[in-house]
A and B are shown apart, each in its own frame.
Chain A
C-alpha cells in the first residue's frame, strides 16, 4: 500500500523540439537539473536513479551511464524498459524504494534526441522495434500500423469515428499552443486532421504523435521532506500497473486493455472513484488511444470516449480537462519521454498558477502511461494534498 508513502518533490521538462546541439544524455541531464532546482535540491541529495532507454545513442546500461554522466554514485539505480509506460512504472518503483528505505531521494528521467539524433530512415527503423522481430516485422509494419489495427477494430465494435478521433488532435493542439514551451503554435481544425497524409489507414499524419528531442524528470522522496521543498509536493495517492502482452498479435483483445486493471488498482489504492478526478493526463501516442483509455479508466462509458472528446468536455475550460499541455500529439514525444511530460504537467497543474492553461479544479490528477501496443500500462492518482 503506497498511498501517502511518497511525494513528487519537483518536476521539469528539458527544452523541447528540435535541438541538434543537445545529446540525449544532455537532455536528461538538463531535465534532471531543472527538476532538482524545482524541488530545492541538488544532485548531492540524490541516492536513487531510474531512467528509461535510448534508441538513438548506443549506450547499454543507461541507468549507470546517466549516473556517470551526472557525476553521482547512487545506491539504487536501474534502467527500465516498458516503452511509453516506463515513467509511470519508474514512479511506482521509486515510491516502493523510498517507502521501504532503499533510497531517500530518487531521480527519475526519460527522453532522448529522437528528432535529430539519427537519420530520418534510422528514426523510422526505430519505430519498427516494438514489433515482433520474427512474426510481425517481416510484414512491413511501423508502429502506426499496429495502432491502426486497434483503431479499425475499435471503430468496428463501438462505432468510434475518424471525426471523433480528429477532435482528440484538435483539442491537444489547442492546449499545446497555450504552453510557453510548446513547439506547436498553430491551431488545428477537424478538416485539416482528416485531410492530412494517410500513414496507416485509418490513421493519418495528424492522428500520430510528434517525434521530438525532449526529456523530462521528477524527484520522488518521502513525505517527511514535504515542508522543506520549494513548492508544495504532489502526493502519490494510488498507482497500478498491468502488462498483458508485448506484441499486438498476442494481445488478449484489441479493444479491452490492461488500463482496466491498472486503473482499478490505482483508484482502489487512492480510495477514490473516476468521478472524483479533476483532470487527466492520458497517453495519446495516436488519437484512438486516449479515447480507449478514457473509457477504461471510467471517465466515459464504453463506446462514448469519442463523444467525450468531440463534446468539448475535455477542454481546459471543460468539465474534465485532458492533456492540458498538449500531450504526445502536440507537445512532445521522445522515446519514453511522452508519459513523463504528462506527470510533469500534472504536478504543475496541482500546484496551480499555470497561466492560460491552468485548470479550475486541481485537487486530484489522473495520469496514464502506456507502452508497446497497449501492452504495458501504469495508472497514477496524484493529489494536491495528503490523502
Chain B
C-alpha cells in the first residue's frame, strides 16, 4: 500500500509498544481482557468493561466498517499538506473497538459510512509500518 515516506512514524509510548511491534510484522493486535473477554483500543491499563488489569495482546481480523469519515483539505503540516485531500476515518473493528486511521487506495475519496474495510500496513519515514485501512468489496 502506498507509502508516506515524508510522514513521521508515530511516537511509541510504553502502553502501546506491543501494538507497534506487531505492526512492524504486519499483524494487528489489540488488548483483550483476561477476565471478561472485552477487546479494547487504544491500549490502556484497565479494562473499560470490568476494570480488570490483566490483558492479552490478541491478533484481530483487521476487518471493520466505516463509522464516519472526513476528506481533509486543510492539513496540519507541510508533509500532510502535500497529500491533501486525504481521508481520515473512524473504523469500527468487527471485534468491537473503534480506531482512527487513514483510508488509503485509489477509491478512498468515494468512501461512504458503513463501507467495509480491511487493514493494510503502510510504510512511513524510517520504514516504520502503521496500520491503515482500505475499502474492500463484498
Contact = CB atoms under 8 A, between A and B. Distances in A.
B88 A141 contact: yes
Contact of A134 (B8, B10, B101): B10
Nearest to B44: A250
Most chain-A CB neighbours within 10 Å: which of B7, B69, B89? B69
A141 B74 CA distance: 9
B45 interface: no
A178 B69 CA distance: 37
B76 A127 contact: yes
Given A201-B73, A248-B90, A149 B42 contact: no
Task: Kindly name the residue among A132, A133, A138, A197 whose own CB sees the greatest number of chain B CB atoms within 10 A.
Answer: A138
Interface string B49-71: 00000000000000000011111
B98 A156 contact: no
A125 B74 contact: no
Nearest to A201: B71
Contacts of A152: 68-70, 113
A216 B70 CA distance: 33
Most A CB contacts (10 A, CB to CB) among B68, B77, B89, B113 go to: B68
A275 to B, nearest CB: 33
B80 to A, nearest CB: 4
B73 A198 contact: yes
Contacts of A124: 74, 76
A144 B74 contact: yes
A203 B12 CA distance: 31
A149 B68 contact: yes
Interface residues of A, number: 33
B71 A200 contact: yes
Contact of A145 (B12, B72, B83, B101): B72
B3 to A, nearest CB: 14
A199 interface: yes
A150 B100 CA distance: 13
A326 to B, nearest CB: 23
B98 A142 contact: no
B16 interface: yes
Given A140-B75, A140-B88, A248-B90, A254 B68 contact: yes
B99 interface: yes
Nearest to A136: B100
Contacts of A203: 70
Contact of A139 (B13, B71, B98, B102): B102
B70 A201 contact: yes
Given A140-B88, A149-B88, A249 B76 contact: no
A138 B100 CA distance: 9
Contact of B73 (A133, A134, A200): A200
A366 B71 CA distance: 34
B100 A199 contact: no
A134 B88 contact: no
A145 B70 CA distance: 6
Interface in B79-138: 80, 83, 86, 88-90, 98-102, 113, 130
A128 interface: yes
Contacts of A145: 70, 72, 88
A153 interface: yes
A135 interface: yes
B30 to A, nearest CB: 11
A249 B101 CA distance: 10
Interface centre among B16, B69, B72, B77 (most CB of A within 10 A): B72
Given A124-B76, A248-B90, A140 B83 contact: yes
B25 interface: no
Interface of B: 7-13, 16, 41-42, 67-77, 80, 83, 86, 88-90, 98-102, 113, 130
Interface of A: 124-125, 127-128, 132-136, 138-142, 144-145, 148-150, 152-153, 156, 197-203, 248-250, 254
Top 3 A-B residue pairs of the complex, sorted by shortest distance between their CB atoms: A148-B70, A140-B80, A153-B68
18 contacts: A125-B76, A134-B42, A138-B9, A138-B10, A140-B7, A140-B72, A141-B100, A142-B76, A144-B74, A145-B72, A145-B88, A152-B68, A153-B113, A197-B73, A199-B73, A200-B73, A200-B74, A249-B42
